[in-house]
Amino acid sequence: MEKAEGRNQTPIVEFVLLGFGNGPELQPLLSLIFLVIYIVTAAGNLLIIDLVVADRHLHTPMYFFLGNLSFLDICYSSTILPRLLAGLLTGDRTVSVMGCLVQLYLFAIMAATEPLLLAAMSYDRYLAICHPLRYAALMNGRVCCQLVAGCWISGVLLCTIINIFLWQLTFCHSKEIDHFFCDFSPVIKLSCSNTQTLQLLTFVISAIGALVPCLLTLTSYICIITTILGIPSTAGRKKAFSTCSSHLIVVTVLYVTVLTVYVVPTANTPKVLQKIFSVFYTVLNPMINPIIYSLRNKEVNESLRKAIRKAVAFTNRHRV
């Protein structure tokens, strides 16, 4: 009955993102924090991409996947942070319904593609450690491109199916979204259309999109750990584990934050706490991924040192 009454109301053409509150004293600080995060995220991931492209020693499947992960992280941050920064700097928190749905669509694509890409990376590590003699034949350039393309196409298709239903909704309950970006649950609550089919479809697709890559990643690492434990020498075990430790940390951080944001919260969880958890998932993860790979990966470190030495030498040559 409530939904039927909602259809007779005037449709909403724009939303207001409440963000982190209206405290004017916090706006400059939040603006500075998120601006620094965005700059560090973009610079760190662009640096990883540049190193992978420029250094021939990094022209391997593992770093091909890492470059694609960095590209995805840049897109991830660029989907959310520019709109958030504009609202903090200008005070204008309004966003059109179409703009909000576009942001939600792009965010969903990145969120769906990332676990698939991480699963492809875990498969690469599985082949490298468990089948080293066949690795070059099984993980060639064509297979790498097919896996990455499959991840992106799957993410786009899954989100497009949901988006077709989402764009048919009418919004008229309220203009206020109690979040700092257009996430699915806060947006869907404002609809005066019947959303039961959409919510069921989203649950099924999200469950498949999350569980399948999670199980593939888990299976790969069970095989990897079993193989590593079977290596007789301690040095050999350390060397094998070092090739996948960075990826394992990134995977763990992703799934822990996803569970914290979307599974653990209940109706009693404060909204502010949910927003803070969302910041970790949507904003901080893309920033820390290149940091983890830089700190934990010797080849990336060595490539970075070479790049710095070249830059210093180039600068000194021009000074002279």
Question: What's the token pair of residue 163?
Answer: 């988006």
pLDDT for the residue 179: 87
Q: Is the pLDDT of residue 4 over 50?
A: no
Are 17 and 181 a contacting pair, CB within 8 Å? yes
Indicate the pLDDT class of residue 3, thresholds 50, 70 and 90.
very low
pLDDT for the residue 12: 80
250 within some domain: yes
54 within some domain: yes
Count of C-beta atoms within a 10 Å radius of residue 154: 16
pLDDT for the residue 49: 92
Whats the size of the chain, residue-wise? 320
| SS3 at position 171 | strand
For residue 15, the cross-strand partners are 95
Instruction: For 139-181, write each residue's pLDDT tens digit.
Output: 998 999 999 999 999 999 999 999 999 988 888 877 888 888 9
90 within some domain: yes
- CATH number of the domain at 194, please: 1.20.1070.10
2 within some domain: no
Q: What is the mean pLDDT of the chain?
A: 85
pLDDT for the residue 208: 87
Indicate the pLDDT class of residue 320, thresholds 50, 70 and 90.
low
31 within some domain: yes
159 vs 153: CA distance, rounded Å: 10
130 vs 128: CA distance, rounded Å: 6
Instruction: For 90-129, write each residue's pLDDT tens digit.
Output: 888 899 999 999 999 999 999 999 999 999 999 999 999 9
Instruction: For 132-149, write each residue's pLDDT tens digit.
Output: 899 999 999 899 999 999
6 within some domain: no
Count of domains forming the chain: 1
pLDDT for the residue 145: 95
Instruction: For 243-278, write each residue's pLDDT tens digit.
Output: 788 888 888 888 888 887 777 665 566 777 778 888
319 within some domain: no
Are 15 and 176 a contacting pair, CB within 8 Å? yes
Domain with 109 in it = 12-313
Burial (CB count within 10 angstroms: exposed 0-12, middle 13-18, buried 19+), residue 106: middle
Share of the chain above pLDDT 70, in %: 91
Provide CB contacts within 8 A for 138, sequence distance 6+: 127, 131
163 within some domain: yes
Global pTM reads 0.87
Mean pLDDT within 39-68: 90
- The bridge status of strand 94-96 relative to strand 14-17 is antiparallel
Instruction: For 26-36, write each residue's pLDDT tens digit.
Output: 788 889 999 99
- DSSP secondary structure of 178-235: SSSS--HHHHHTTB-S--HHHHHHHHHHHHHHHHHHHHHHHHHHHHHHHHHHT-SSHH
